[in-house]
Amino acid sequence: MGIETIKSDDGREFVPVPVGKMEPGVKLLSDIYLRVDGKFLKYKAKGDFLEAEKLDFFLFKDLRNIYIALPELQAFMNWLRDLRTGVIDEVVEEIGEENRHLAEKREAIKEKVYDTFSDVEMDSGVAETLKEQVNEFIEEVKDLDISKAVLAKLIKHNDTMADHALNTANVALFMGMILGHGNKQVLEDIYFGALFHDYAKTKIPSEVLLNKNSSKYNQMMQDHPKKGASAVKRLENIRGEVIKIIEQHHENFNGNGYPRKLKGDEIFGLAMIVNMANIFDNTVMENQHKSKKDRYRMGIKVLEYDKGKQFDPDMVNRVLTGLKLAYGEFYIPPSDS
């Protein structure tokens, strides 16, 4: 079997495994290693757990692979297989034994999708599959009580706000997947972070919202990430990651965002995703009068323009590739003048 292995200085052989294959919070059946400056360092031992935050951190540091020592590869593959069977069994319990083939097919597609993240190349087939994955994921979470409660609040306040929250969640999930997030917990964090990102705006009186030049408006805008975070913190079962997304969704890569003027790596990666999705959807929504194609093209242009300013350039580059594949590579005709 042609397995790609890498030899360490002391002659041991290691096999790279895409980070997206790892499942957090499940007991490891083999040691896992990281490769730092060409050396293999044991990161977690057999029997340990890999926390979701760590996995998330790896993905955002663009660490594509973890490594398994060749003699332990079989144990690792068994771990993966058991995980997969566990997931399928869970789904089958819901949809019935007669539909097991559907559950299996779904898992196979997922694997295909996340496998691709170990390659740099994306193609339109993958982008399409990701779009389907986003829809499927949203189908699963949209009926949760918490989703309904927040949406009801947003809709009560303002329909546009609710639409924007849903669109942002949708786009953020897609971007998250492009960036290699396949883990359900991380995807849920992105989804809820995006859905709640402007939660505090429901508390801003509409006369203030309409008067964009007033100092009151400016103050309330400055405060909405923090206020939103503390309001959402009070809801039941909200994870710290979701709070962090809300707090940091206006922090910019170059440090000129708010409220804390964080920059570069100081910004939580999932918050950067929601920042990009938020701007993308704002641009799309502000241009309702234009054709759908033009609106998406403008959204893409804004992300491109703010690369390295508002947005992390590495993240934007990958996101743009995916967006262009999903929404079409838009040709901008040269102007006549």
Chain residues in the site for Fe ion (CB under 5 A): 198
Contacts of 316-324 with C-beta under 8 Å, sequence gap 24+, read 316/276, 318/178, 318/179, 319/175, 319/178, 319/179, 319/276, 321/122, 321/178, 322/122, 322/127, 322/130, 322/174, 322/175, 322/177, 322/178, 323/174, 323/175, 323/178, 323/280, 323/296, 323/299, 324/300
CB of 259 to Fe ion, least distance (A): 11
Residue among 37, 46, 38, 85 nearest 68 (CA)? 46
CB of 278 to Fe ion, least distance (A): 6
Q: Put the strands of the sheet holding 32-36 in their side by side order.
A: 6-7, 13-18, 65-69, 32-36, 39-44
Measured from the CB atom, is 170 or 183 closer to Fe ion?
A: 170
CB of 26 to Fe ion, least distance (A): 35
CB of 79 to Fe ion, least distance (A): 40
Measured from the CB atom, is 58 or 280 closer to Fe ion?
A: 280
| Residue spans of alpha helices (H) in the chain | 52-60, 73-95, 100-116, 124-141, 145-157, 159-178, 184-196, 206-210, 215-233, 240-248, 269-286, 292-305, 313-327
Measured from the CB atom, is 198 or 241 closer to Fe ion?
A: 198
Task: Report the phi/psi class of residue 237: left, alpha or beta, with left for phi > 0 and alpha for psi in -120 to 50.
Answer: left
Measured from the CB atom, is 30 or 278 closer to Fe ion?
A: 278
Measured from the CB atom, is 135 or 219 closer to Fe ion?
A: 219
Q: Which amino acid is at 166?
A: L
Q: Which residue is nearest to Fe ion (CB)?
A: 198
CB of 207 to Fe ion, least distance (A): 19
Measured from the CB atom, is 188 or 198 closer to Fe ion?
A: 198
CB of 228 to Fe ion, least distance (A): 8
CB of 251 to Fe ion, least distance (A): 11
Measured from the CB atom, is 189 or 198 closer to Fe ion?
A: 198
The two three-digit tokens of residue 232, written as one number: 């959402």
